[in-house]
Structure 1
Amino acid sequence: MKTLTTLLADLVGLDSINPDLVPDGAGEAPIARYVSDWAGAQGLEAHWVEPVDGRPSVVVVARGSGGGRSLMLNGHLDTVGVAGMTDPFSARIEHGQLFGRGAYDMKGGLAACLWVAAQAKQLSLRGDVIVACVADEEAASLGMQAVLEHWHADAAIVTEPTGLDVCVAHKGFVWVEVKVQGRAAHGSRPDLGVDAIAKAGPVLMGVEALDRHLRAGPGHPLLGTGSVHLSLIRGGQEMSSYPDSCFVGLERRTVPGETPESAEAEVEALLNEARQRDPAFRASHRVTLVRSAFEVPPETEVVRLVRRYAGQITGAERRVYGETFWMDAAFLGAAGIPTVVFGAGGGGAHATEEWADLTSVQQCADVLLAVAGEFCA
């Protein structure tokens, strides 16, 4: 079997840029074929999950003898783009660091998961070790959602990079588009025109006030408060016309306990206040994307196992924390699978120089293997 470092280098050497982010990105098919072939060479099962043509995920299984609990390890195949990078797929190694797109986010974790599956096959476990190598995490998470339609487990570990600390919560988000209505007219006819961009002013001010209110609240013990910000605005056709509409995009970041429904109600309340102040104000809104916040109790068994073995293997007690950005852990948790986030270290996620710390990747794999050895015994 290839060493863990060689496996990681092979994965980084494959272009798996998400084509929903970069139109000419290679997508997940080449790396999925590699993973499937590698799994077959190790005597592991490899199951192809492809809800959208050309966007496959692969589920690798180290099948147990039966009667034991199953553990799902998760890593995503896709990466962001490589604009501005030099040799993004070279996987060069310097001073214990492996450089290249995806090395840190998150092919280091993916390589650790696959290595553990191969090692677990030698442990005569009763339970299955399942590695969900999923597509599209960097965009719409089509892969994770499709995998969960067919696969379940008794616990899961998402190997997004955590620097070998233990993540038990992360924020979610709700995207909302507000359409403010005006009336088109020639710029010389203010008696006929209604300026939709000007009418959007109360929306802009209302979002700013809502954000101040949210951030002054008590917040979540690990994640702090929710927030809201204005992301996009567009309106008008040319300088000499009154704009008939103005679209405002906002993002509401949520913490556990805040729901998509409560976030949408805040926007509706904001619009209602504008209507009360100005009877001529016309606006509607729609939710375009929802990703829920995630939280797992620290006393959950899989969390305790990861903390214990991570402390033993690294020689230091590991921090338990909450992360600001969203992850596929939310989908696993919503599916009723106790889930924790634990991965290796490095740096440069989405940056022009990205790297994985090879010692950390090996320690991550060792922890995962120890957890699987106890949980699936």
Structure 2
Amino acid sequence: MYGRGTFDMKGGIAAMMTAAARAVSRGPLRGDVIVACVADEEHGSLGTAEVLESFTADAAIVTEPSHLEVTLAHKGFVWFDVEIEGRAAHGSRPDLGIDAIAKAGHFLVALEEWGRRLADGPAHPLLGTGTVHASVIHGGEEPSTYPARCRITLERRTVPGESADSVERELTAVLDQLATTVPGFRHRLTRGLHREPFEADPEAAIVRTLTRHAERALGRPPVIRAEPFWTDCALLDRAGIPCLLFGVDGEGAHAATEYVDLASLDRLTEILTGTVADFCA
């Protein structure tokens, strides 16, 4: 089925709603089944955060698309604004001006080097290493003046074992080194939105139950994988709810052409139904 959102993630919503109804119709369950259709997962996950203020659960399944592969980990992220400070002056007065954009160039080179060090460092078995990149840059007013400031927004993708605090220490060390070695280098650092990485316990009951039903439905053991992007799994896990990610096959998330494979949608619904009924039996 083609259409915007069919893969990410209307297919998952349809599957979990149908699976919950079917599991309940098979007979009484020992526990409640919560179907949470939430907003804002693409940014701050305010929907899931609000759900967790009022509800908890013994386990959870996030039905983001995963090509019917069991997803047990994903990266986190943290955003920073680095404002490089210069001194405004007319372009004819180099004796008065400090070019914030030129100073920012030193930081961009150091940022690239930081990324290389990360790529060469210890790797998570499923996710690899963390990464860093410059996302947005603003600076300058007009051609005939020295820019007083240049602001760079960067994103650092994190793996399990890393945190916003540990990343800030790394970034501060980079900036402190520049302040020591680059004449006139001054900066201000501001931390923005951050979300933690996620890693499931492969021996958790919900993981073992879903994996068993997936193997039965697929006729083979499911692929175990991780995702480079962030999902609501991290919020659920931090709230003490064992969880994993498992969803449909298809293509085109956030793209002009998007589709869900309907056979995978049927398989997902079957696997979720069996998992709910078994887990709550």
For the superposition of Structure 1 and Structure 2, which TM-score range results when normalised by the shorter chain?
over 0.9
Tell me which residue corresponds to 1:224: 128
How far apart, CA to CA, are the structure 2 residues paired with 1:107 and 1:278?
52
How far apart, CA to CA, are the structure 1 residues paired with 2:262 and 2:40?
25
Structure 2 counterpart of 1:169, from 73, 76, 81: 73
Q: Does 1:338 align with 2:242?
A: yes
How far apart, CA to CA, are the structure 2 residues paired with 1:299 and 1:175?
33
Deviation at 1:279, TM superposition (A): 4.6
Post-superposition Cα deviations, 1:294-316, rounded to whole Å, max 9, x if no partner, equal: 00121111111111100101112
Deviation at 1:350, TM superposition (A): 0.7
How far apart, CA to CA, are the structure 2 residues paired with 1:223 and 1:173?
13
Structure 1 counterpart of 2:195, from 288, 291, 301: 291
Aligned residue for 2:13, secondary structure, equals: helix
Aligned residue for 1:154, secondary structure, equals: coil
Structure 1 counterpart of 2:34, from 130, 142, 158: 130
Q: Does 1:311 align with 2:207?
A: no
Tell me which residue corresponds to 1:100: 3
Aligned residue for 2:113, secondary structure, equals: helix
Structure 1 counterpart of 2:91, from 175, 187, 205: 187
Gaps of 5+ in 1: 1-97
Q: How does 1:153-168 map to 2 (within 5 A)?
A: 153-168=57-72
Q: How does 1:1-377 map to 2 (within 5 A)?
A: 98-122=1-25, 123-377=27-281
8 Å Cα contact 2:23/2:274 also seen in 1: no
Relative to the length of structure 1, the TM-score reads: 0.73
How far apart, CA to CA, are the structure 2 residues paired with 1:317 and 1:375?
19
How far apart, CA to CA, are the structure 1 residues paired with 2:85 and 2:239?
40
How far apart, CA to CA, are the structure 1 residues paired with 2:235 and 2:273?
23
Identity, % of aligned positions: 53
Relative to the length of structure 2, the TM-score reads: 0.98
How far apart, CA to CA, are the structure 2 residues paired with 1:192 and 1:349?
51
Post-superposition Cα deviations, 1:65-91, rounded to whole Å, max 9, x if no partner, equal: xxxxxxxxxxxxxxxxxxxxxxxxxxx
How far apart, CA to CA, are the structure 2 residues paired with 1:146 and 1:298?
27
8 Å Cα contact 2:20/2:276 also seen in 1: no
Could you say which structure has the greater relative contact order, defined with CA pairs below 8 angstroms and 6 or more residues apart? 2
Post-superposition Cα deviations, 1:82-137, rounded to whole Å, max 9, x if no partner, equal: xxxxxxxxxxxxxxxx1111100001000001111211221211111111100111
Post-superposition Cα deviations, 1:167-192, rounded to whole Å, max 9, x if no partner, equal: 00000111111000001111111111
Q: When the two structures are aligned, how many residues end up with a matched partner?
A: 280
TM superposition outliers: structure 1 runs of 4+ over 3 Å: none
8 Å Cα contact 2:12/2:64 also seen in 1: yes
Aligned residue for 1:287, secondary structure, equals: strand
Deviation at 1:139, TM superposition (A): 2.2
Question: RMSD of the alignment, in Å?
Answer: 0.9
Structure number having the greater helix percentage: 2
How far apart, CA to CA, are the structure 1 residues paired with 2:182 and 2:74?
39
Letter in 2 for 1:145: A
8 Å Cα contact 1:120/1:129 also seen in 2: no
